[in-house]
A = this chain, B = another copy of it.
Amino acid sequence: MSGTAVSRPGPGRPRDPRADAAILTAAVDLFVERGLARTSIEAIARRAGVAKATVYKRWSTKEDLLAEAIERARDDIPALDEQDPDVPPAELIEAMLPRWGAALADPRYRALTARLLGAGPDHPALLDIYWNHHVVPRRERARAVLRRAQEAGALDADADLDMLIDMLLGAMIHHLVLEPGSSRPDDHAAYLRRLLRQAGLAIGAGVSPAQRS
C-alpha cells in the first residue's frame, strides 16, 4: 500500500482501487458474521490485509465505511432501473422474479438485512445513510414502475403507491428475516409472485413448485 502514501491529505488523495475493494469486502463480511458492535476498523484492516491508516485515509468512521460497503453489497441485487419503456410494467416486474428469488434465497442477504435492521438502536446514522442513499432512490424507481402499471391498467388507479411500496418491502423483510427460510430460489420467486398478486398487480399466477413436482 506504500504506493498510495502521497503527502496530499484528504479526499483528493489518489486511491488504490484494489485496497478499497478489499476493505469494502472485509467490512461487509465482518458485519454479516459479527454485527456492527463487534466489527472494528482494526479488524476490517486486518481482514483486508491493509494498514489501519489505509482505511482511515478513505473513511473517517466505521459507520461511513460500512454504509458504503453495505450499499455495494446490496447493489448486487437487481433493481428495477434498466427500464425499457416499451416493455409493459407488469412484464418488467415479472421478468425480475427469478433474480429476486435468488437474492432472497441467499443466507448472506438474509443475515445482512437482519444486521442492518438490528443496527438501528445503536447506530442510527448507519440506518439513515442506508435509507437515504440506497432505499430512497429504489423506492422512487419502484414508484415510477407502479405508476406506469396504473396507466397501463395493470394496477388499480386509486392505489396508494407509497403505502403499497411499504407493504411490498415490508412483506419481503418479514419473509426474509422472520420466516423459516427455504434455500430454493424458486420458492422465493413463487412467494414474490403471490405477494405482487395480492398487492393487486395483474401478473400471472405462475406454477407453484408444489404443482410442478
Question: Quick one: copies of this chain in the complex?
Answer: 2
Q: Is A92 an interface residue (CB 8 A)?
A: no
A195 to chain B, nearest CB (A): 6
Q: Chain B: which residue is nearest A116 at the CB level?
A: B118
- Whether the pair A174, B163 counts as a contact (CB closer than 8 A) is no
Q: How far is the CA of A111 from the CA of B118 in the complex (A)?
A: 9
Using a CB-CB cutoff of 8 Å, which residues 55-101 of chain A contact chain B? none
Q: How large is the interface on A (under 10, 10 to 19, 20 to 34, 35 or more residues)?
A: 35 or more
- Whether the pair A178, B37 counts as a contact (CB closer than 8 A) is no
Q: Is A1 an interface residue (CB 8 A)?
A: no
Question: Interface residues, chain A, CB within 8 Å of chain B?
Answer: 32, 35, 37-38, 110-111, 114-115, 117-122, 127, 131, 135, 159-160, 163-164, 166-175, 177-179, 194-195, 197-199
The 10 tightest CB contacts between A and B, nearest first, are A118-B118, A170-B170, A170-B174, A170-B171, A114-B120, A167-B167, A163-B198, A111-B121, A117-B117, A166-B171
